[in-house]
C-alpha cells in the first residue's frame, strides 16, 4: 500500500492544497507584473514537436527545456492569455469547492466569459497549456473527460467514496474513476494485472474465472486507454508492485495502444511521468502468435503497412522484440484480432494461450 503522507493529510487533501496554491500563484504572477509596471506575461513550456524528447533512461517522452511567453504586449496573444486566466479561475473555483466539470461543460461555460472559445479543440488546448504551466494534471484541476473509464475485475479492495471490492460489483467489475488519484487502494490478493484491449475479451476472461485461475486483476481497456486507465495501471504497478501485462489485437493499432500505456504519448509528454508504465509487458497478439497458433487473419491494408513502418522508426519500438515482430508482420502481410483464438473454442484463450504466455514471462524474469 502507498505510505500515508507525513503531513497527516490524505493524498486527496494534499493534492487539493497543492493545486489550489498553484492556481493562486498563476494569478499572482500577473499581479506582480502589474505592480512592477511590467506588461503581464506568462512563461509556458513549449509543447511543439521540437521540444518533445524520448528519454532513454525514463523510457517515455518528456518535454525539453524550451519555453514560450504569452504576453499582453503581443496583440496576437491577448486572447489566449485571457482565456488561460479565465480557465485558471474556473478551475480554482472547482478545486476550492471540490467540484468537477467535463471539458465539454467548460467549453459551454466559457460562453458567459466574453472571451469564449471558437471550438472545443481550442478550449482543450488551453486546458493542456494550464497543465504544462502548473505541473499538475487536468484531473487535479477538476476537469474530466467525457468517456467512461475502463473496467477492472478481480480481488482488489478500493475506497472510492465507499469501500468496494472489484470482484463483487457485478460481472462488469469496477469502473475506473476519472478522479482515480483520489481513490485509495486498501487491500488486494492478486500478483499481476492483465489488461486487454477489447471488452469482448474482458468478458470472456471474467466468465472463465481468469482472475482466480491466474490470480490477476483483469482490466478491459475499451480500445485506446483513457488517461484514468493509464494512471490506474501506473499506480498499481508502482504502489502495489504488481507486474502489468498487456494483450491487444495483433495489428499496428493494437501495438500502439499497448505502447502508449508502456511509454506514453508524445502529445502528453508533460504528464507521462504520471501515466506511463515502462515496466509493463506486451504479451500479444504478436505476428509470431499468428504463425504459431495458425490464427484466422485479415490481410494488412496499405494504411496498416504504412503505420507499421512508422512504428519501426519510433524510439519506443527500438527493442529487438518490437523490431522482430514488426518485420515479421510486414513479411506475412497479416493481422489478427484477440477473438481469433475462438477458432479453437471459447475457453482456449484461458486454457492454453494465457498460461503459455505467463510461463514465458516467468522464464524471462
Q: What is the pTM of this model?
A: 0.89
- Is the pLDDT higher at 84 or at 364? 84
Q: Average pLDDT in the 103-113 region?
A: 91
Burial class (CB in 10 A: 0-12, 13-18, 19+), 292: exposed
- Cell 478545486 belongs to 95
Question: Strand, coil or helix: what is 310?
Answer: helix
Residue 2: the pLDDT is 42
User: Is 148:124 a contact under the CB 8 Å cutoff?
Assistant: no
Comparing 108-122, 282-296, 304-318, the range with the smallest average pLDDT is: 108-122
Cell representation of residue 61 = 517522452
pLDDT digits (tens, 9 = 90+) for 94-107: 999 999 999 999 99
- Is the pLDDT higher at 60 or at 10? 60
Stretch(es) of the chain classified as CATH 3.40.1360.10: 151-364
| Strand (E) or helix (H) holding 351 | none
Burial class (CB in 10 A: 0-12, 13-18, 19+), 22: buried
Measured CA to CA, the distance from residue 101 to residue 276 in angstroms comes to 25
Q: Residue 322: which pLDDT band, with cuts at 50, 70 and 90?
A: very high
Comparing 6-15, 212-221, 341-350, the range with the smallest average pLDDT is: 6-15
Please say if the pLDDT value at position 3 is more than 70. no
Stretch(es) of the chain classified as CATH 1.10.10.10: 11-144
User: Out of 18, 20, 54, 108, which one is annotated catalytic?
Assistant: 108
Residue 148: the pLDDT is 67
Q: Residue 145: which pLDDT band, with cuts at 50, 70 and 90?
A: confident
Please say if the pLDDT value at position 150 is more than 70. yes
Q: Residue 116: which pLDDT band, with cuts at 50, 70 and 90?
A: confident
| Averaged pLDDT score across all residues of the chain | 93
Cell representation of residue 95 = 478545486
pLDDT digits (tens, 9 = 90+) for 117-139: 989 999 999 999 999 999 999 99
Residue 8: the pLDDT is 74
Measured CA to CA, the distance from residue 169 to residue 158 in angstroms comes to 12
Q: Does CATH number 3.40.1360.10 belong to domain 151-364?
A: yes
Q: Residue 6: which pLDDT band, with cuts at 50, 70 and 90?
A: low
pLDDT digits (tens, 9 = 90+) for 47-94: 999 999 999 999 999 999 999 989 999 998 999 999 999 999 999 999
User: Is 253:337 a contact under the CB 8 Å cutoff?
Assistant: no
Q: Does CATH number 1.10.10.60 belong to domain 11-144?
A: no
Residue 7: the pLDDT is 63
Residue 365: the pLDDT is 65
Please say if the pLDDT value at position 147 is more than 80. no
Asked about 108 being catalytic, the answer comes back as yes
Cα 189 from chain centroid (whole Å): 24
User: Is 206:171 a contact under the CB 8 Å cutoff?
Assistant: yes
User: Is 141:94 a contact under the CB 8 Å cutoff?
Assistant: yes
Amino acid at each position: 500500500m502507498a505510505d500515508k503522507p507525513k503531513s497527516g493529510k490524505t493524498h486527496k487533501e494534499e493534492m487539493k492544497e497543492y493545486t489550489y496554491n498553484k492556481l493562486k500563484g498563476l494569478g499572482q504572477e500577473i499581479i506582480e507584473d502589474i505592480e512592477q509596471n511590467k506588461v503581464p506575461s506568462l512563461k509556458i513550456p513549449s509543447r511543439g514537436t521540437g521540444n518533445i524528447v524520448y528519454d532513454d533512461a525514463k523510457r517515455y517522452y518528456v518535454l525539453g527545456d524550451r519555453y514560450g511567453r504569452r504576453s499582453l504586449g503581443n496583440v496576437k496573444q491577448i486572447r489566449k492569455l485571457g482565456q488561460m486566466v479565465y480557465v485558471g479561475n474556473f478551475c480554482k473555483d472547482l478545486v476550492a469547492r471540490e467540484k468537477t466539470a467535463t471539458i465539454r461543460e467548460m467549453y459551454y461555460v466559457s460562453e458567459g466569459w466574453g472571451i469564449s472559445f471558437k471550438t472545443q479543440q481550442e478550449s482543450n488546448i488551453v486546458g493542456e497549456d494550464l497543465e504544462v504551466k502548473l505541473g499538475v494534471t487536468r484531473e487535479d484541476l477538476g476537469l474530466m473527460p467525457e468517456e467512461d473509464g475502463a473496467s477492472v475485475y478481480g480481488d482488489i479492495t478500493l475506497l472510492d467514496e465507499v469501500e468496494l471490492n472489484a470482484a463483487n460489483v457485478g460481472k462488469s467489475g469496477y469502473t475506473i474513476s476519472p478522479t482515480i488519484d483520489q481513490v485509495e487502494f486498501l487491500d488486494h490478493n492478486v500478483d499481476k494485472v492483465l489488461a486487454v484491449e477489447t471488452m469482448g475479451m474482458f468478458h470472456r476472461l471474467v466468465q472463465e474465472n481468469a482472475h482466480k485461475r491466474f490470480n490477476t486483476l483483469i482490466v478491459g481497456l475499451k480500445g485506446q486507454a483513457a488517461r484514468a486507465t493509464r494512471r490506474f495501471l501506473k499506480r498499481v504497478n508502482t504502489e502495489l508492485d504488481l507486474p502489468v501485462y498487456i494483450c491487444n489485437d495483433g495489428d499496428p493499432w493494437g501495438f500502439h495502444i499497448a505502447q502508449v500505456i508502456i511509454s506514453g504519448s508524445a502529445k502528453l509528454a508533460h504528464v507521462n511521468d504520471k501515466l506511463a508504465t515502462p515496466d509493463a509487458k506486451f504479451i500479444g497478439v504478436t505476428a509470431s502468435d499468428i504463425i504459431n497458433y495458425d490464427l484466422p487473419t485479415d490481410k494488412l491494408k496499405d494504411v496498416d503497412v504504412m503505420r507499421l513502418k512508422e512504428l519501426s522508426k519510433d524510439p519506443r519500438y527500438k527493442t529487438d522484440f518490437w523490431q522482430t515482430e514488426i518485420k515479421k508482420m510486414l513479411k506475412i502481410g497479416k493481422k489478427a484480432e484477440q477473438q481469433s483464438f475462438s477458432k479453437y473454442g471459447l475457453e482456449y484463450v484461458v486454457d492454453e494461450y494465457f498460461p503459455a504466455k505467463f510461463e514465458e514471462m516467468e522464464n524471462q524474469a
